[in-house]
Structures are given as C-alpha cells and as structure tokens.
C-alpha cells in the first residue's frame, strides 16, 4: 500500500485538517518532475557518451581507501541545500520553524522554494496542533487526579477495610495520608495509596506483616469535605428530582454512590486512554509523513536535504515530547491497580477495545439468505400466476386482512437494507459513524452484518407469506386453517423474542443499544437527549405504516375472527379509528418533546423551530388521516377536509424540505466554494447532491396521492398505501446518508473526536488541590 493511502486510512478523521498535507506536497514534487521533463536537454552525441563510459571504467582502477574509513569526505559548503532555523514568535513562548532554500536561483528552483514554504507551513501547523492537544490532556489529567483522590477516599469510607478501621480507632477522625505524587513529564495523576490487603498469608512472618501494616497509611479523607457527587439526569426519577432540586447532592457515603462513581470514572479513564493513543498515533504518522516526503524530495531532485530537515523534526516538540507516552503508562498503571485489582491482562483488555474482525461466514450466509429470498419471491409470483389467485373473489379479503400483516416485515426489511447501504457508503467515504452514534468500539455493525439480518428476516417473512398464500376456505367449516392463520403472529412474536433475548447471540450489544435508544424515545423527555436517541426517533417517523400494522395485528387477532379473515373493526370500531391516528403521531410527538427539552437545556432557539416543525407535521398528519376516513364514509364535508389537508400538508412540506436540505444536510449555502452546496463535500461529484435535493423534494410530495385520491388501476388500495410508505422509507434512507455526513463535518470542524464523559465528583473549592 502506498503511504498516501496508508496515511488516509490511519488518520483520525475528525483531525484530518490538522495532518500534514502529504498529497499537496507530493503534487508539488510531481510539478518539479514535469518541469524537468519539459526543460531536459537533448541527449549527448555518441563521442561524449563514449568518453563518459571510459571515465566510469577507469574509476575501477583507483586506489582502494579501505573498509574502515568511516569518516568520509568533509562536507563542503557548496553541498548545502537548506538551512533550517527556529524563530521565536513575538509575545509568545511558542516558536515556529523556517527553512531557507539556498538553490532558488537554479533552474526549477522556484518550484522547490514553493515546496519548502508549504512544508514549513504544514510542519508548524502540525506542531501547533499537537502542542495544544498535549496541553489539553494535561489539564484533563489534573481533573482526573482529583477525581481519583475523591474515589479512593469514598472507597475507604464505604468499604471500611480492616486495616484502615484499626487505624481509625487509634487515630483522629480524619486520617492524614501521604500522596504518592509521581510526576512524570508533566503528568500529575498521583498514585494515591489504596487499601491493599496482603494475600500472602503463607509467609509465616507475623512481624513482617505487622511492620507492613504499621507502614501502611490510607489516603486522606479530607478531600470528601470539599466535594459533592454529580447527580446526572440519566433516569426518569433522577430527572424529576433534578427539576425539583439541585443537580448536585451531598455525599451520603452509600454503596450505590460508590458503584456509580466507579463506573463513571472507569469510563472516563478509558475514554481518556483512547484519546492519548490517537494523539500518539497522530504524532507518529506525521513524523513518518515528513520523513517520507523528504526522502521522495531527495530522490526526485538528487539533493541531500532530508538529513538536515529531519534533524530539525527530531529536535522539535513533535519529536522530543514524551508527555503522551508517560501519560499512557500512568493511565495503564492506575487503571490496572484501581479497577482491575492488579490484573494486567484484564485491565488492558478493558482499556484497549477489540478490533472488529470480518468473518467469512457472514458473507457466506448473506449470499445464502439473499439467494433464498430471491427464490421465495419467484415462488410467490409463480404461485400467484399459476393458481390465478389474484383473479379469485377472495383477493379483496386477502388484501384487506393478510397483506397488512406481512407488509410490516417488508417495511422493516427495506429500512434495514437502506441502512446497510448507508453504512457501506459511510465507511467508503471514511465517515466515523461508530463515534457519531456512540457505539462501543468493536461492536458496531458493518454493512455485511446489517444486510445479513435484513436478508434473514426477509427469508422468514417470505416463507411465512408463501405458506399463508392459500385463499380457499374449508368447504365444511367455512374457516381457514388456524395453524396457517397464526403464522404472522408467531413470526412477530419470534422477532420480538430474538430482539430482547439476553443470550449473547445475534449481535446482542447492538440489539440492546437499539432497545436502550427506543426506551429513551418512549420516555422522552425524561432522559437527556443524545444523537442516537433523536436519530432513532427520526427513523420511526418514517415508519408510520409499521406502527399502524402493529395496531392492525392487535385488533385482527384479539377483536376479529382471524379464522374467517373478517375485520369488521375497520368499519364498526370507533376506538380503532382513534388509535389509528394516535399510533401515527407517537414518533412525531417523541421528536417534538425531545426538541423542547433541548431548547430548555441548551438554550438553542433552532430547537424551538424544530419542535414547531414536528407540531405542524402532526397537525397535517391528523387532518390527512381524517380526510381518508371521510373519503371511505363518503361524507359531505370531504371538500372542507381536503382544503385543510392541502394547506397544512403544503406548509409542513415546505418547512420540512427546507429543514432537511439547509439544516440537516448543511446545503444551499450562498457564499460557499461550491455554489448552492457547502464548502466541504464528501462526494466529489456535485451532481449527486443536486439529485438528492430533487429526489427529497419529490418524495416529500407523496402525500398528495391521499389528498387528490389518486389510484393505480391494477394496484389495490392497501398496495397503494404500502407503496407510499416504501417511498417515505426510501427518502429516509437518503436523508440518513447526508445527515450523518453533515454531523461528521461538524465534528471535523471542531476537531471533536472524543465524547465527553460526565465525572462523578464536583469540587466546590478548586484551591484545595
């Protein structure tokens, strides 16, 4: 693999603007090659060539200087190509590096001069960014130090180890302890002495143990007089408590507080460790990039400038700073000691996330299930055509009763297929979607896994639909087979059981992550709104017909007579008509109150506009549903409801389309480098963005079919409803790609590559440390 591709694959995508522009420097060297080719002198005449060949052969007979002569010839001043110097910035302790090119007067020297100017710019950019990040991690290390002090003291109070308890009885109430302040290269993460009971009971030396116990001094408990525990609103009860009282509470020295503090601090240390590792990788890859580009320069120009420049790189802050390495070592030692009970293997397994491995069996079963799905589709089509099932009188009853049951799985499979396509393109264009969604490292599903689940579910649903395709009653009982009619309900129950299954099968971490986000959507606004929560709620707004299918399941199997495929509740039940509206607005209502909570917490006025957008969508959806019911009843007030539906749906369509394109996708910026798009584009082909805009607008207008009562002659009413629902799911799949792309560019612009982990303790008096 060429180094340019390796650098692109290894870099932290959110920091890509801070890396050395290897491709830009490589382009300048290519320009130099092109210049030399255009200005190359004609080949020498044969006489000159023979003379040069003779001189080369004569050198074979010169006196041998010996193998031990390592001193070499002294370097002449004429051989120097560059002079590198460090210049101190005025009013700042930071210095920048400047290279003087000594051969600018030679032919092609201006191109080389431009190369070194850009090289200096890139190096100063890298050094500045790295030094700023190192200072930031030092500050974070100081904060984690104080958090560890409080945690150790809380452990002593809650656990009350025997050794410490004995000292409590002989010492004052507050035990004064020494703090082992091991400062290593700016690292202030003190190794606070924790309670460590010796497990070496077999030494037989009581005096040694007694001496060890007398020498042991526990950590100071005075720190607990200055801290309060943070009560994060991570549950509905704690949220309500936060609304009534304060978000900070006094320590009650309970076991629950200790457990919560340990979990939060463990997570904070793990995230901090990942940040240090990526910062170390950033330093290594940039140093390697400068080495590669200088060696390439020497090779192309036949000069010897790399040694002088790389000596400057090695002597700079980028090459001499070892704070990150020492912080990494200290974090490892601290985590292993305090959170893994001294077990290094266990501690390092928690600190270093496992890498996701591509499994061949995933690809195999994906191909197998895809082939089976295609075969089942063909079998259903042949069965429909060969038995002329669509021409029988039972066709209408089948479409009214059985088709809505299986269309639920069609909506889910289509959504999964589009999400799998999104993950494929996110990975192709290096969008860090696992970080954006907050997946645990190594557990995120790639496009193969998503498509595998979709194809597996399609095989089950298509096989069930084929078994449930019979449209003939028993001639004597006038009923359908009970076992066959229960197939859809059995399939729904099986999917639900697999989703909540506690066994570590079928991607348990991903299933539980989905359940966790879905629960937050249901309980909104009692949970703090995060991106996975509102992103899932947005997906559910495109699954309105799936929610209505679940309602149909409940009424069909518990209110209707499924053995005769009768569903009189569609005409006679007022409660069904009401719930038909209610279940449709649930996901929009969830997004509405999520936006209101963000408006209150973040003081962001755009969230108020977003909440109004969902409110207008709810109004339009309710009016369109009422219109459809009036059309079935052929009520005289159809025209009034049609006008209301046109006005409300038209307004919310314009509002939603603007929000999609401008706010969610970040496009249609007036003064951008790419007209009517944005400054940074993930896809180089600009036509893709304009096509996506047009398609989004057209798919936003599918509601007009309902208002204008447009029908396709060969398509049943239920089939038309399913088609409109599939078009909305397709629009959501396109929206997902560009929405996550916009979030990725937001992280890149802010160099945000790590999530913020809440810390358990709050220091009221910052001067105590």
Rounded CA-CA distance 437/740 in Å is 9
> At 106, is the pLDDT very low, low, confident or very high (cuts 50, 70, 90)?
confident
pLDDT of res. 198: 37
| Helix 403-428 and helix 487-500, axial crossing angle in degrees, nearest 10 | 40
Tokens linked to 410: 């069609």
Rounded CA-CA distance 278/15 in Å is 10
Task: Report whether 126 contacts 20 (CB < 8 A).
Answer: yes
More confidently predicted of 761 and 585: 585
Rounded CA-CA distance 350/335 in Å is 9
Helix (H) / strand (E) element for 230: namely strand 227-230
Rounded CA-CA distance 478/104 in Å is 98
Count H helices, E strands: the chain?
29, 7
pLDDT of res. 234: 62
Number of neighbouring beta carbons within 10 Å of residue 346: 14
The gap between the terminal CA atoms of the chain, to the nearest Å, is 50
- Helix residue ranges, H only, 357-470: 360-386, 395-401, 403-428, 433-437, 447-467
* Half-sphere exposure for 649 (CA within 13 Å, toward CB): 21
**What percentage of the chain reaches a pLDDT higher than 90?**
38
Task: Report whether 299 contacts 293 (CB < 8 A).
Answer: no
Tokens linked to 612: 């109004």
> At 175, is the pLDDT very low, low, confident or very high (cuts 50, 70, 90)?
very low
pLDDT of res. 200: 40
Rounded CA-CA distance 242/592 in Å is 21
Task: Report whether 290 contacts 315 (CB < 8 A).
Answer: no
| Helix 544-558 and helix 403-428, axial crossing angle in degrees, nearest 10 | 150
Q: Which residues contact 272 (CB under 8 A, 6 or more apart)?
A: 137, 140, 141, 144, 331
| Helix 574-602 and helix 508-522, axial crossing angle in degrees, nearest 10 | 90
* Three-state SS at 481: coil
More confidently predicted of 414 and 89: 414
| Preceding peptide of 525 cis, ω within 30° | yes
More confidently predicted of 13 and 250: 13
90-99 average pLDDT score: 69
Write the CA distances from 21 to 7, 15, 24, 26, integer angstroms: 10, 12, 5, 9
Classify the C-alpha dihedral 322-323-328-333 as positive or negative: positive
482-500 average pLDDT score: 91
Lowest-confidence range among 402-416, 461-475, 493-507, 514-528?
461-475
Rounded CA-CA distance 310/315 in Å is 9
More confidently predicted of 527 and 178: 527
**What percentage of the chain reaches a pLDDT higher than 70?**
79
Average pLDDT of every residue of the chain = 81
- Helix residue ranges, H only, 161-305: 162-170, 206-215, 236-244, 255-301
Q: Which residue has tokens 């999400």?
A: 419
pLDDT of res. 342: 85
614-641 average pLDDT score: 88
506-534 average pLDDT score: 92
Helix (H) / strand (E) element for 180: namely strand 179-180
pLDDT of res. 189: 41
Task: Report whether 190 contacts 181 (CB < 8 A).
Answer: yes
pLDDT of res. 304: 83
Write the CA distances from 529 to 247, 283, 533, 584, integer angstroms: 17, 35, 6, 22
Rounded CA-CA distance 323/288 in Å is 19
Q: Is the pLDDT of residue 86 over 80?
A: no
Rg (CA), the chain: 35
Nearest to 516 by CA among 601, 438, 433: 438
CA 75, distance to chain mean position in Å, is 54
Q: Is the pLDDT of residue 194 over 50?
A: no
Lowest-confidence range among 148-157, 268-277, 605-614?
148-157
Specify which residues 153 forms β-bridges with: none
DSSP state of 232: -
Nearest to 86 by CA among 276, 271, 294, 320: 320
Write the CA distances from 506 to 361, 511, 522, integer angstroms: 13, 8, 24
What is the phi/psi pair of residue 552, to 5°? -60, -40
Tokens linked to 764: 């009221």
Q: Is the pLDDT of residue 533 over 70?
A: yes
pLDDT of res. 73: 46
pLDDT of res. 644: 92
pLDDT of res. 17: 87
CA 38, distance to chain mean position in Å, is 48
> At 768, is the pLDDT very low, low, confident or very high (cuts 50, 70, 90)?
very low
Lowest-confidence range among 152-156, 170-174, 537-541?
170-174
More confidently predicted of 102 and 352: 352
Helix (H) / strand (E) element for 192: namely strand 191-192
Rounded CA-CA distance 109/103 in Å is 6
* Half-sphere exposure for 534 (CA within 13 Å, toward CB): 21
Nearest to 356 by CA among 449, 426, 453, 444: 444
pLDDT of res. 184: 37
- Helix residue ranges, H only, 429-543: 433-437, 447-467, 482-485, 487-500, 508-522, 531-541
Task: Provide the residue count of the chain.
Answer: 769
Residue 624 CB burial class (10 angstroms; 0-12, 13-18, ≥19): buried
Q: Is the pLDDT of residue 42 over 90?
A: no
Q: Is the pLDDT of residue 187 over 60?
A: no
Q: Which residue has tokens 């526990």?
A: 218
Rounded CA-CA distance 350/353 in Å is 7
Q: Which residues contact 552 (CB under 8 A, 6 or more apart)?
A: 404, 405, 567
Q: Which residues contact 81 (CB under 8 A, 6 or more apart)?
A: 101, 102, 103, 303, 304, 305, 308
Tokens linked to 349: 């397994």
DSSP state of 247: S
> At 64, is the pLDDT very low, low, confident or very high (cuts 50, 70, 90)?
low
- Helix residue ranges, H only, 59-194: 109-159, 162-170
pTM: 0.82
Q: Is the pLDDT of residue 331 over 50?
A: yes
Q: Is the pLDDT of residue 411 over 90?
A: yes
More confidently predicted of 398 and 515: 515
Write the CA distances from 222 to 92, 169, 742, integer angstroms: 39, 17, 48
pLDDT of res. 206: 54
pLDDT of res. 58: 60
Tokens linked to 306: 């790399």
Q: Which residue has tokens 């049951």?
A: 405
99-109 average pLDDT score: 72
Q: Is the pLDDT of residue 313 over 80?
A: yes
Rounded CA-CA distance 329/347 in Å is 13
> At 349, is the pLDDT very low, low, confident or very high (cuts 50, 70, 90)?
confident
Rounded CA-CA distance 587/511 in Å is 20
Rounded CA-CA distance 658/664 in Å is 9
More confidently predicted of 116 and 215: 116
Task: Report whether 686 contacts 677 (CB < 8 A).
Answer: yes
Tokens linked to 244: 């009534």
Q: Is the pLDDT of residue 75 over 60?
A: no
454-461 average pLDDT score: 96
Rounded CA-CA distance 577/570 in Å is 8
> At 240, is the pLDDT very low, low, confident or very high (cuts 50, 70, 90)?
low
384-388 average pLDDT score: 75
Rounded CA-CA distance 592/615 in Å is 7
Write the CA distances from 154 to 228, 261, 330, integer angstroms: 11, 9, 22
> At 712, is the pLDDT very low, low, confident or very high (cuts 50, 70, 90)?
confident
Rounded CA-CA distance 427/446 in Å is 8
Q: Is the pLDDT of residue 35 over 90?
A: no
CA 726, distance to chain mean position in Å, is 26
């Amino acid at each position: 693999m060429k180094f340019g591709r390796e650098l692109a694959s290894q870099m932290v995508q959110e920091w890509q603007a801070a890396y050395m522009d290897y491709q830009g420097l490589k382009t300048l060297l290519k320009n130099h090659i092109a210049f030399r080719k255009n200005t190359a002198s004609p080949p020498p005449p044969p006489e000159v060539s023979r003379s040069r060949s003779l001189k080369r052969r004569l050198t074979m007979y010169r006196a041998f200087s010996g193998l031990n002569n390592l001193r070499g010839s002294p370097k002449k001043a004429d051989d120097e190509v560059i002079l590198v110097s460090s210049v101190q910035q005025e009013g700042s302790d930071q210095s920048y590096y400047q290279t003087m090119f000594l051969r600018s007067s030679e032919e092609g020297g201006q191109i080389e001069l431009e190369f070194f100017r850009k090289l200096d710019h890139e190096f100063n950019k890298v050094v500045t960014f790295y030094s700023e990040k190192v200072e930031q991690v030092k500050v974070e290390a100081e904060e984690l130090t104080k958090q560890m002090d409080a945690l150790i003291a809380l452990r002593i109070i809650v656990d009350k180890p025997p050794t410490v308890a004995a000292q409590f009885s002989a010492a004052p109430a507050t035990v004064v302890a020494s703090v082992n302040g091991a400062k290593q290269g700016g690292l202030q993460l003190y190794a606070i002495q924790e309670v460590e009971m010796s497990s070496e009971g077999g030494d037989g030396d009581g005096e040694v143990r007694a001496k060890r116990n007398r020498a042991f001094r526990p950590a100071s408990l005075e720190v607990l007089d200055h801290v309060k525990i943070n009560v994060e609103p991570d549950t509905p009860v704690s949220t309500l408590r936060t609304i009534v009282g304060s978000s900070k509470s006094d320590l009650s020295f309970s076991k629950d507080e200790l457990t919560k503090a340990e979990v939060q601090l463990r997570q904070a240390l793990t995230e901090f460790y990942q940040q240090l590792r990526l910062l170390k990788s950033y330093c290594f890859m940039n140093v390697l990039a400068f080495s590669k580009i200088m060696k390439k320069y020497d090779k192309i120009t036949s000069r010897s400038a790399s040694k002088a420049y790389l000596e400057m790189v090695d002597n700079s802050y980028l090459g001499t700073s070892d704070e990150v390495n020492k912080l990494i070592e200290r974090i490892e030692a601290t985590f292993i000691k305090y959170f893994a009970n001294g077990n290094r293997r266990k501690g390092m397994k928690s600190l270093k996330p496992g890498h996701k491995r591509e499994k061949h069996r995933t690809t195999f079963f994906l191909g197998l299930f895809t082939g089976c799905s295609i075969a089942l589709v063909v079998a259903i089509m042949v069965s429909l055509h060969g038995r002329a099932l669509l021409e029988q009188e039972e066709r209408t009853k089948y479409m009214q009763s059985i088709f809505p049951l299986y269309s639920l799985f069609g909506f889910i499979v289509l959504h999964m297929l589009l999400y799998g396509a999104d993950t494929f393109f996110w990975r192709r264009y290096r969008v860090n979607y696992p970080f954006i969604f907050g997946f645990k490292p190594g557990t995120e599903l790639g496009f193969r896994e998503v498509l595998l689940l979709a194809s597996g579910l399609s095989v089950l649903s298509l096989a069930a639909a084929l078994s449930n395709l019979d449209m003939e009653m028993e001639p004597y009982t006038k009923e359908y087979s009970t076992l066959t009619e229960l197939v859809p309900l059995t399939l729904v129950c099986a999917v639900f059981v697999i989703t909540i299954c506690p066994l570590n099968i079928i991607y348990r971490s991903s299933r539980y992550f989905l359940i966790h986000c879905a629960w937050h959507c249901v309980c909104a606004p009692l949970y703090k709104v995060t991106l996975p929560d509102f992103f899932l709620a947005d997906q559910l707004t495109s699954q309105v017909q799936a929610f209505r299918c679940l309602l149909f399941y409940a009424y069909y199997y518990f209110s209707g007579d499924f053995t005769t495929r009768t569903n009189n509740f569609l005409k006679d039940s007022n409660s069904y008509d009401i719930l038909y509206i209610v279940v449709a607005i649930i996901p929009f209502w969830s997004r509405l109150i999520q936006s209101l909570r963000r408006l209150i917490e973040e003081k962001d006025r755009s969230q108020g506009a977003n909440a109004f957008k969902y409110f207008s969508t709810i109004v339009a959806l309710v009016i369109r549903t009422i219109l459809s019911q009036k059309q079935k009843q052929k009520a005289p007030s159809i025209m009034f409801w049609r006008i209301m539906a046109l006005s409300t749906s038209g307004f919310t369509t314009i509002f939603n389309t603007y929000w999609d394109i401008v706010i969610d996708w970040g496009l249609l910026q007036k003064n951008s480098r790419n007209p009517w798009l944005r400054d940074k584009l993930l896809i180089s082909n600009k036509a893709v963005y304009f096509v996506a805009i047009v398609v989004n607008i057209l798919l936003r207008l599918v509601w007009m079919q309902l208002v204008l009562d447009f029908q396709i002659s060969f398509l049943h009413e239920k089939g038309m409803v399913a088609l409109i629902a599939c078009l909305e799911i397709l629009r959501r799949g396109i929206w997902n790609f560009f929405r996550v792309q916009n979030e990725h560019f937001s992280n890149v612009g802010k160099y945000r590559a790590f999530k913020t982990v809440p810390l358990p303790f709050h220091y009221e008096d910052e001067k105590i440390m």
